[in-house]
Amino acid sequence: MQGESRGVKMFANIYRTFLILLMLVSVPGFAGEVYKWTDKDGKVHFSSTPPKDKEAKVEVKNYKGAINSQAAPTKEIPPEVKEMMQGMQKALLEVHEDGAPLNCEMAMGNINWQIETMLAQGKKNLEGGYITQEQYELATGAFKKAQAELSLDDCKTALSTKRSFYQCMSSDKNHVAGCGQKYNFD
C-alpha cells in the first residue's frame, strides 16, 4: 500500500507539470499541421490528423517554428496557438473507455512515447526562447522521474488505482495526463 500511495503522490506532481508541458508541446516550436473542426453535434476538436467525418467544417493551421537558441526566453504565444493549446488540453485529458484489456507492453510503450515526445518538444521550445531554463527543468523533472519509476514489472504487479492507470494507458486513444487525472493521480 505504501508504494501505491507514493505512486499517487508522484502522479499529482506529474499532472501539475503536464499543464506546463502541454504548453511546451503546443507553442510555435511545434512544426506541423493542426486540424480544428466542428462535428455534426457542434463539438470542437483539435488534432494533428484530419477528421474522419467528411462533413465536418475543418480549419487547418500550419505551424513552422524556427529554433533559435539566441532568442529571449518566454516569447509571446500567438492567440491562435493559445486557442489550440486549450483544445489540445481538453482532448488530451479526455479518457476513451474502449474496453482495452490491461496490456503492460502497450501501456509502457504509450507512456514512454508520450513522455519522450513532450520532453523533445520542450527542448525545442527552450531553444526557441518560448520557455526559460527554469521552466524547462521544472516541467521535465517530474516526467523523467515518472519514466524512471514506471516499468513493465510495476505494471504487471500494480493493484487498484495504479492498475487502472496502466489499463487506461493500454489504449492508444488515451494520454498519460488524462489517465493520470482520471485515476486519482491529480
SS3 assignment, position 60: strand
| HSE-CB for 119 with a 13 A CA cutoff | 16
Whether residue 20 is predicted with pLDDT greater than 70 in this model: the reply is no
Could you tell me the residue ranges of all domains in the chain? Answer: 2-28+76-182, 31-64
Q: Which residues contact 154 (CB under 8 A, 6 or more apart)?
A: 162
pLDDT value of residue 125? 82
pLDDT digits (tens, 9 = 90+) for 126-178: 888 878 888 888 878 878 888 888 999 999 999 999 999 999 999 999 998 88
Residue among 20, 139, 126, 16 nearest 74 (CA): 126
pTM of the full structure: 0.64
CB contact at 8 A, 165 and 185: yes
Between CA 36 and CA 49 the distance in angstroms is 10
Instruction: Kindly report, residue by residue over 32-49, the tens digit of the pLDDT.
Output: 455 676 777 777 666 666
